[in-house]
Structure 1
Amino acid sequence: MNVEKAWDVLKEHSFKRTKNREAILEYLAHRDGYTAAMDVSEYLKKDNPGVSFDTIYRNLATFSELGILEETELRGERQFRMHCEPGVHHHHFICTECGKTKHIPSCPMDHIAVNLPGVQIQGHKFEVYGKCPQCQ
């Protein structure tokens, strides 16, 4: 998802365009992988030292709820990244050191669902964690 598509989603949900939201989206749009809220905060505070961590965290959570951001837990904290392709089912390998991701082209759910007769699967999330070649 690019920043303009993110603004379309925010506008549909009656969110105003603010400089903090703009900075968060621009920062994450240029990151290759998951980023912790604290890293976003440190970046934003360079230009706006008065911005609170709570404001940043609330915006990240809102963006995630609206499908603008993907999130995962990495090293004990929530991490965020721009959503790859809204509406396209996919999974990732996530580097536990740098947070960079690699697209996994297939979904293991077809194999797993066979072993769950009689259940109604409503959703799933599949992530593979390890170290990328640069972090090994």
Structure 2
Amino acid sequence: MTPDEAWRILQDKQFKRTKNRETILQFFSENDRYLTAAEVRGFMEQDNPGISFDTIYRNLTTFAELGILEETDLTGERHFRMQCEPGVHHHHFICTACGKTRSIPHCPMEMIAVNLPDYEVEGHKFEIYGKCPLCVAN
């Protein structure tokens, strides 16, 4: 997702265009990996030293609820990244060294559902963790 696509979603939902939101969206569009609120704050403090975690978390949560950001839990902490392909079901490989991700278009639920014939699955989450080729080489 691009920042322009994100702004269309925000404007459709009556959210104002603010400097903080612009900065957050730009930061995510330039980083192809999951980021923590602390990383976002570290970046934003350069131009806005008084920025609070409350402001950052509120925006990150809103962006995730609107489908602008994807969210996962890594090492007991919430991490966010720009939505890859809105509306397209996919999963990720996440590098535990550098944090970069790679989209996995195949969903293992197709195989798993066969083993759960009388169950009603309401949702699932599938992520693979390891090191990307660049981190393995280093």
Question: Shared topology, TM-score over 0.5?
Answer: yes
Q: What TM-score do you get using the length of structure 1 for normalisation?
A: 0.95
Contact 1:91 1:104 survives alignment (8 Å):
yes
Question: Structure 1: 5+ residue runs without aligned partners?
Answer: none
**Correspondence 1:19-58 to 2 at 5 A:** 19-58=19-58
Q: Secondary structure at the match of 1:79?
A: strand
Per-residue CA distance 1:59-101 (angstroms, 9 max, x = gap): 0011001100001111221110000010111111001121100
Identity of aligned residues (%): 64
**What code does the residue aligned with 1:97 have?**
A
Q: Is the 8 A contact 1:24 1:40 kept in 2?
A: yes
User: SS where residue 46 of structure 1 aligns?
Assistant: coil
1:70 equivalenced with 2:70 (yes/no): yes
Letter paired with 1:70 = E
- Write the letter of the residue equivalent to 1:15: F
Q: How many pairs were matched up?
A: 136
Structure 2 residue runs of 5 or longer lacking an equivalent are none
Contact 2:36/2:79 (<8 A) preserved: yes
- Tell whether 2:88 aligns with 1:111: no
Residue of structure 2 in register with 1:130 after alignment: 130
Using the size of structure 2 for normalisation, the TM-score is 0.94
